[in-house]
Structure 1
Amino acid sequence: MFAVYLVITSLASAVVGLAAIANLIGHDYPKKQADQLRVPRSWMLPLGVMLAAGSLGLLAGFAVPVLGLLAAAGLVLYFLAAFCVHLRARDHHFGAWSAFFALAAAALAVNVAYY
Structure 2
Amino acid sequence: MFIAYAVVAALLALALSASAFFTFTRNPQIIDNMTRFGVPESWFPWLAAAKAAGAIGLLVGLAVPALGEAAAIGVILYFLGAVITHLRAKDYVVAPAAVLALLAAAALVLRIASA
| Residue of structure 1 in register with 2:90 after alignment | 90
Q: Does 1:55 align with 2:42?
A: no
Q: Where do residues 24-103 of structure 1 align in structure 2 (5 Å cutoff)? A: 24-103=24-103
User: 1:111, 1:45 → 2: CA distance?
Assistant: 28
User: 2:25, 2:91 → 1: CA distance?
Assistant: 25
Share of identical aligned residues, percent?
A: 37
Report if the CA contact (8 A) 2:4-2:110 is conserved: yes
One-letter amino acid of the structure 1 residue matched with residue 58 of structure 2: L
Structure 1 residue 28, shift from structure 2 partner: 1.3
TM-score when scaled to structure 2?
0.93
User: 1:112, 1:2 → 2: CA distance?
Assistant: 9
User: 1:22, 1:106 → 2: CA distance?
Assistant: 25
The runs of 5 or more residues in structure 2 that have no matched partner are none
User: 2:49, 2:3 → 1: CA distance?
Assistant: 28
* Two-structure CA RMSD over aligned residues (Å): 1.1
| Residue of structure 2 in register with 1:3 after alignment | 3
Q: What is the count of residue pairs matched by the alignment?
A: 115
The runs of 5 or more residues in structure 1 that have no matched partner are none
Large movers: runs of 4+ above 3 Å? none
Structure 1 residue 102, shift from structure 2 partner: 2.1
Structure 1 residue 29, shift from structure 2 partner: 2.0
User: 1:87, 1:94 → 2: CA distance?
Assistant: 8
TM-score when scaled to structure 1?
0.93
